[in-house]
């Protein structure tokens, strides 16, 4: 009996030691991003997320963050994380429309949801389940991990007085927005944010949308383009995303998985708060520049944008069943939530400004 008790006790101690050893295991990860080095809001948000994960895990997950181009080109980060070259990535889902048109829904659609509405769909309207299902074949686990809030319409070298002024216009604008521009006579150009200033300065492009006053001021677009238009019809509340290699995630113990889940959610909240505040402060600076003209897009331009956006979505639905499935959930939620938005946030703002 004593010998049996001793063996059982020894086995228990061994198991406890194994658990403790496993709990002390350090996971060294890499995160590749699509953002320029230390870029305010986006890049720093990704870096902050990595630091929070390390702190919350007691140093059991250490993440080295790479800006776009440092380890792989910005737009190759999706494939790099998918293949296991890095365990994590941070960017925007609509950059991957070449993989699936449906990825764009998880960033933004023209004249779509604002940031709060999008979070509602993702967390409580079935969006996350569809998001994970879409990325499953790519060996990725996606998270919403930041939001810039409603963006600006872009910087233009020449004024936009009517739809005719878009003819032949070369503009840096990705995703659905780029296709809307093309169908209205312009030429969309895809490029990372770090290349926009030089392209504007040299005349490679005539206009560019990036994000909003906070980041636009940092890049100095006001030095080479003097017409700043609003609103960001193409990105009313675009989500940023964190992607995690699914195999790497599943190798983690449950407590570390939970830390990653919570860190992504926290980044989603704090980044939006930062953009709301920083955009306001930066807009104040831009308004003081006498040579900068801030103006709304003409109504005929906005009407044309909206018409073409609806046409494009209708076409994709007929060709892409995956997009159709996801868009059905998105649009049904939009039809529901906008009724609440109209008598809550929208009504409040109308009365606040009257």
Kindly indicate the confidence band of residue 175, based on its pLDDT and cuts at 50, 70 and 90. Answer: confident
Contacts of 220 (CB under 8 A, 6+ apart): 197
Closest CA to 122 of 349, 337, 330: 330
* pLDDT per position as a tens digit, 120-158: 999 999 999 999 999 999 999 999 999 999 999 999 999
- Sorted by where each begins, the domain ranges of the chain are 25-147+237-277, 151-234+290-319
* pLDDT per position as a tens digit, 9-57: 544 444 433 444 456 899 999 999 999 888 899 999 999 999 999 999 9
Residues 162 and 81 sit within 8 Å (Cβ to Cβ): no
What rounded mean pLDDT belongs to the chain?
Answer: 93
Closest CA to 208 of 233, 225, 184: 225
| Overall fold of domain 25-147+237-277 | D-Maltodextrin-Binding Protein; domain 2 (3.40.190)
pLDDT attached to residue 192: 82
pLDDT attached to residue 11: 47
Compute, in degrees rounded to 10, the torsion defined by CA atoms 338, 344, 348, 350: 30
More confident residue, 213 or 3: 213
Pick the CATH number of 151-234+290-319 from 2.60.40.420, 3.40.190.10, 1.10.10.60, 3.60.20.10: 3.40.190.10
Residue 286 burial by Cβ neighbours in a 10 Å radius (0-12, 13-18, 19+): middle
Residues 181 and 191 sit within 8 Å (Cβ to Cβ): no
Q: How far apart are CA 253 and CA 72, in angstroms?
A: 29
Kindly indicate the confidence band of residue 5, based on its pLDDT and cuts at 50, 70 and 90. Answer: low
Contacts of 233 (CB under 8 A, 6+ apart): 110, 111, 153, 177, 297, 302, 305, 306
Q: How far apart are CA 44 and CA 38, in angstroms?
A: 6
Whether omega before 325 lies within 30 degrees of 0, making that bond cis, reads: no
- Most distant pair of Cα atoms in the chain: their distance: 94
Whether the pLDDT of residue 62 is over 80: the answer is yes
Percent of the chain at pLDDT above 90?
Answer: 89
Q: CB atoms < 10 A from the CB of 81, how many?
A: 29
* pLDDT per position as a tens digit, 74-109: 999 999 999 999 999 999 999 999 999 999 999 999
pTM over 0.95: no
């Amino acid at each position: 009996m004593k010998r049996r008790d001793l063996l059982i006790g020894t086995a228990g101690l061994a198991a406890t030691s194994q658990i403790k050893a496993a709990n002390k295991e350090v996971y060294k990860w890499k995160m590749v991003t699509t953002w320029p080095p230390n870029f305010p809001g986006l890049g720093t948000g990704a870096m902050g997320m990595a630091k929070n994960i390390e702190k919350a895990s007691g140093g059991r997950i250490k993440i080295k963050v790479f800006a776009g181009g440092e380890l792989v080109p910005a737009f190759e980060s999706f494939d790099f994380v998918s293949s296991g070259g890095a365990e994590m990535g941070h960017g925007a889902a609509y950059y991957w429309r070449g993989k699936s048109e449906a990825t764009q829904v998880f960033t933004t659609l023209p004249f779509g949801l604002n940031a709060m509405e999008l979070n509602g769909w993702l967390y409580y309207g079935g969006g996350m389940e569809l998001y994970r299902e879409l990325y499953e074949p790519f060996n990725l686990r996606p998270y919403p991990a930041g939001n810039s809030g409603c963006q600006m319409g872009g910087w233009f070298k020449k004024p936009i007085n009517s739809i005719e002024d878009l003819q032949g216009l070369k503009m840096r604008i990705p995703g659905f927005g780029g296709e809307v521009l093309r169908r209205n006579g312009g030429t969309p150009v895809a490029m990372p944010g770090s290349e926009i200033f030089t392209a504007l300065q040299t005349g490679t492009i005539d206009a560019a949308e990036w994000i909003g006053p906070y980041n636009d001021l940092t890049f100095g677009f006001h030095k080479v383009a003097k017409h700043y238009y609003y609103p960001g019809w193409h990105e009313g509340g675009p989500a940023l995303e964190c992607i995690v290699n699914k195999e790497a995630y599943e190798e983690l113990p449950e407590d570390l998985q939970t830390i990653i889940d919570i860190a992504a959610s926290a980044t989603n909240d704090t980044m939006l708060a930062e953009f709301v505040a920083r955009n306001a402060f930066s807009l104040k600076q831009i308004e003081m520049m006498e040579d900068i003209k801030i103006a709304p897009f003409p109504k005929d331009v906005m009407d044309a944008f909206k018409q073409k956006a609806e046409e494009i979505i209708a076409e994709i639905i007929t060709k892409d069943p995956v997009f159709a499935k996801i868009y059905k959930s998105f649009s049904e939620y939009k039809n529901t939530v906008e009724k609440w938005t109209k008598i809550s946030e929208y009504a409040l703002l109308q009365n606040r400004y009257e």
